[in-house]
């Protein structure tokens, strides 16, 4: 199952429980459902992580953790996926979100350079906030749906492949 593949890359439960930003959740982190590796938990974690990655706020990890705890999906995967939007990838991701939002609203895009500064938030964001946030919402929902159904499909495909391999192996043993 993909479970073994995924387990190789997941951090230790104890390390995640002791993470300084996740301490606010206290004993909620001890729920065994947050650590399960099954189709439902992994698919949900992909949806949450990819959705929150497009939310333009600081501390996306905390928001992702809270959402994963609420829905009872795999916590490390949901939290880890928000790092798709990191300080290096944020500018192109947010430029793309702005472009998508401007296209949907049929407004001409303003050439702006994204930067993480208070000055930019004060001066540029008021000019572009509608298309930017709409683009983030559209990209977040699209990514979440693709991640959810993509992971479910991959999981089913992988399990079916293993069943076929096991069947072939068992047939060879019986001969």
Per-residue pLDDT of the chain (175 residues; tens, 9 = 90+): 466 666 666 666 666 667 776 677 777 777 777 887 888 999 999 999 999 999 998 889 999 999 999 999 999 899 999 999 998 998 899 999 999 999 999 998 888 777 777 787 788 888 888 999 999 999 999 999 999 999 999 999 988 998 998 888 888 777 6
pTM of the predicted structure, to 2 decimals: 0.80
How much is the pLDDT for 54?
96
How much is the pLDDT for 5?
64
Q: What is the DSSP letter of 167?
A: H
CA dist 168 and 172 (Å) reads: 6
Domain range holding 165? Answer: 2-174
CA dist 42 and 34 (Å) reads: 10
How much is the pLDDT for 154?
92
Residues whose CB is less than 8 angstroms from the CB of residue 13 and which lie 6 or more positions away in sequence, other chains included:
35
Residues whose CB is less than 8 angstroms from the CB of residue 125 and which lie 6 or more positions away in sequence, other chains included:
132
Count of structural domains within the chain: 1
Residues whose CB is less than 8 angstroms from the CB of residue 92 and which lie 6 or more positions away in sequence, other chains included:
none
Give CA 116 to chain center in angstroms. 21
CA dist 82 and 92 (Å) reads: 15
């Amino acid at each position: 199952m993909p479970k073994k593949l995924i387990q190789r890359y997941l951090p230790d439960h104890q390390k995640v429980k002791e993470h300084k930003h996740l301490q606010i959740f206290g004993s909620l982190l001890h729920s065994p459902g947050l650590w399960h590796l099954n189709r439902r938990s992994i698919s949900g974690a992909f949806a949450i992580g990819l959705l929150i990655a497009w939310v333009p706020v600081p501390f996306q990890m905390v928001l992702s953790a809270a959402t994963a705890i609420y829905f009872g999906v795999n916590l490390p995967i949901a939290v880890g996926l928000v790092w798709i939007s990191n300080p290096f990838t944020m500018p192109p991701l947010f430029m793309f979100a702005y472009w998508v939002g401007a296209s949907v609203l049929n407004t001409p895009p303003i050439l702006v350079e994204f930067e993480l500064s208070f000055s930019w938030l004060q001066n540029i964001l008021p000019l572009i906030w509608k298309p930017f946030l709409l683009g983030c919402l559209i990209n977040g929902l699209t990514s979440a749906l693709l991640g959810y159904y993509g992971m479910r499909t991959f999981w089913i495909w992988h399990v079916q492949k293993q069943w076929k391999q096991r069947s072939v192996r068992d047939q060879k043993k019986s001969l």
